Amino acid sequence: MSSYPQISLSNKVALVTGGSSGIGRAIALKLSQAGAKVAILDIKECEDLLDEIGRDKARFYRCDVTSAEEVKETVNRVYGDFGRIDIVVNAAGIIIRKDAVETSEEEWDRVLNVNLKGPFLVSKYSIPYMIRGGGGSIVNIASGWGLKGGPKAVAYCASKGGLVNMTRAMAIDHGKNGIRVNCVAPGDVDTPMLRSEAKQLGISWEDFLKDASNRPLARIGRPEDIANAVLFLASGMASWITGATLVVDGGGIA
């Protein structure tokens, strides 16, 4: 860290949704390692992660990101507890592997609510506090399927495509406030959510993994791969980057 002071997050406060597992968990840990204090928002507890980061550096907040009332209350609590919000990472997400005919209205609404409405609500209520603190960085976790289509994932693709363009719109609106808004688009990453996809499709994990590894760098992604990209975009190293989507997928959509 001493060789790259621009990447230090010392004295910063990061709010991470979906931080109890998978990509969100790796992000929360990575940002804490760079010096940030971390507010972890999720519907699942993460006592072991709090112990790993340190109870003096991280707090857990149970929050359903699809509820405006819960998000507003939780963001207010985070600000009250930490005194500032500098970084917001919208990592909470779900996927349902069905095409348009198979997808029910309830399933469509659920995916869009978590993956698109959630980032909107968390950003909406965090931005005023970020402005009060002089600016900051928002990083939305989208997907390669937000840039291209994918099979049997119509609601997921729609939600992530919307998130990519919402990122651009927010970057335009809030650049004047010193807030940078960027997006990371992961490929297949070994997480509980990816393993659930194999089950939904009725494919063995071994066969699913073989297909997911069929890319130029010949391996599936690790949560840390995405966390590293988020750390870069959240840090001073990316001080002139906003409205961008960084694809982190081992060359999958190259």
Provide the annotated active-site residues: 156
| Tokens 């992660």 sit on residue | 49
Calculate ∠ Cα 196-197-201, nearest 5°. Answer: 120
Q: Are residues 163 and 140 in contact, defined by beta-carbon separation less than 8 angstroms?
A: yes
Please provide the distance, in angstroms rounded to a whole number, between the alpha carbons at the two ends of the chain: 31
Sheet holding 87-90, edge to edge: 58-62, 37-42, 13-17, 87-90, 136-141, 179-186, 245-248
Distance CA 88, CA 236 (A): 15
Query: Among 150, 145, 61, which Cα is nearest to 99's?
Result: 150
